[in-house]
Amino acid sequence: MSEIHAQREQLQELTQAALPEIEAATNLKDLDAVRVKYMGRSGLVTEVSKVMKDLSNEARPQLGQLMNDFRNSFTQVFDAKKEELEEAALQEQLASEAIDVTLPGRKPTIGARHIITQTMEEIEDLFIGMGYQIIEGPEVELDLYNFEMMNLPQNHPARDMQDSFYIDSEVLLRTHTSPVQARTMLAHNFEEGPLKMISPGKVFRRDNDDATHSHQFHQIEGLVVDKKITLADLKGTLLVFAQQLFGEDQEIRLRPSYFPFTEPSVEVDVSCFNCGGDGCSVCSRTGWIEILGAGIVHPKVLEMANIDATKYSGMAFGLGPDRVAMLKYAVEDIRHFYQNDLRFTRQFQGGQN
Ligand code: DAH
C-alpha cells in the first residue's frame, strides 16, 4: 500500500464534502466560512499536510501534488461561487436602491419674506429712489444715543412714553430708531454733501401687548440734514412717499405735535386709502389715518452731534411699518405678525420670495 494512501483517501473525502458545501452557500459570509474550514491555517487540508515531514522523498511530492489538485478544484468551484454570490448581492443592492422615475417629484417648499420685511423693503426702495442711504443701528443701545442725544435727558417726562428694557443703567433695548440719527450725524462728513438716510429696524418697549401694541415692533427712521431744510421739504417728501405707497390720489395732513427731538413737530396723516376720505371703519370715520411722527430737527440735537445749527437744519420722521402693513393689508391684530402662524404668513407669500 502506498505511503500516502490514507491522505489520498482523506483528500478525496474532503473534496466530496467541500464542493457541495461551497455550492450550498447562499451568501458571501457562509462561503467564506467554508474556505476557512478547509483552507484556513488550521483548516482540514492543513491537518492532512501535517504528515509531510515524516514522508519519504518520493512520497512527499506525491502528496504535494494531491494537495495542489485539491486546492485547484476547491478554488475553481469557490471562485465561481463567489462571483455568483457577489453578482447576486450587487443585484439585490441595485434593486433596493432603485429610483422610480415615474413617481411624481416632491415639491420643495420655498419660503417667502415676511410681510413686515416686504413692507419695509418696499419703503426702503422708495427712499433709495429719492437718494437716501440705508443705515442700520444696534438694537442694544446706549442711553446716551437713545435718549440723551435725542434731547431726552434723565428725568425728562417724555421718557415715560417709552418705558424700556434696561440691561443696566446705561444700556437698554432701543425704544425707537431715533438713536441712529445721533450716530449717523456724528459720523457724517458734511464736506462730502448733505446727509440723507433712513434706518429701518426693530425697537422694543415695555408695553402691555394688545391688538395694537407689541413689546417688539419696527420703525423706519428718516433724517435729512443740509443747509436750508424746511417743513416744506418734509411735507413734499412725505407726500411723495404716501402717494407711492398707497396710491396717486393720496393726500397728507400735518397736525402739530410734540417730540423732544424736533421743533416744530408734526403728526402726519394720510387720507384713508380704504374709503378715500369719506370715513369708514379703517379710519375711525375721520377720513384720515395717522402713519408717522416727524418734524424739523431740534437745534439742540444738531449741536449735540457737533453740527452748527446756525448753518445747517434738518428734517426727521419716524414711521411704523407694522402699522402701515396692518392698514394696507387689513390685519386686525399686530400680534399676528409675530406669532408665525403659517395660516397667517402664507397669505402674504404672493410670489415675492
Ligand atoms: N421716535 C419717535 C417715536 O418712537 C418717532 C419719531 C417722531 C421719529 C418724530 C422722528 C420724528 O424722527 O421726527 O415715537
| Tens-place pLDDT, residues 312-348 | 999 999 999 998 898 888 888 889 999 989 899 988 8
What residue owns the CA closest to ligand 1's atom 8? 318
Q: Does the beta carbon of 318 sit less than 6 angstroms from any atom of ligand 1?
A: yes
State the DSSP code for 279: -
The number of the ligand 1 atom at minimal distance from the alpha carbon of 297 is: 13
Nearest to 33 by CA among 80, 82, 76: 82
C-alpha cell at 260: 423732544
Q: Which string of DSSP letters, residue by residue, matches 188-220?
A: --GGG--EEEEEEEEEE--PPPBTTB-SEEEEE
| Tens-place pLDDT, residues 296-309 | 999 999 999 999 99
Q: Does the beta carbon of 259 sit less than 6 angstroms from any atom of ligand 1?
A: yes
| Tens-place pLDDT, residues 134-151 | 999 999 999 999 999 999
| Tens-place pLDDT, residues 248-297 | 988 999 999 999 999 999 999 998 878 888 998 878 899 998 999 999 99
Nearest to 44 by CA among 52, 31, 35: 35
The number of the ligand 1 atom at minimal distance from the alpha carbon of 161 is: 14
Helix orientation angle between 59-96 and 28-39, rounded to the nearest 10 degrees:
170
Within 229-302, strands assigned E span 252-259, 262-271, 288-297
Query: What is the distance, to the nearest Å, from the Cα of residue 68 to the centroid of all Cα atoms in its chain?
Result: 69
Q: Does the beta carbon of 147 sit less than 6 angstroms from any atom of ligand 1?
A: no
Q: Does the beta carbon of 220 sit less than 6 angstroms from any atom of ligand 1?
A: no
Q: What is the CATH number of domain 116-345?
A: 3.30.930.10
Q: How far is 333 from 320, CA to CA, in rounded Å?
A: 14
* One-letter identity of residue 304: M
Q: What is the pLDDT of residue 353?
A: 41
| Tens-place pLDDT, residues 220-252 | 999 999 999 999 999 999 999 999 988 898 899
The ranges assigned to domains in the chain are 5-96, 116-345
Q: Does the beta carbon of 314 sit less than 6 angstroms from any atom of ligand 1?
A: no
pLDDT class of 33 with cuts at 50, 70, 90: very high
> Please, where are the H alpha helices in the chain?
5-24, 28-39, 44-49, 59-96, 115-128, 143-146, 179-187, 231-246, 299-304, 321-328, 336-339, 342-345
**HEC letters along 298-313:** CHHHHHHCCCCCCCCE
Cα–ligand 1 centroid distance for 338 (angstroms) = 23
Q: What's the whole-number average pLDDT of the chain?
A: 92
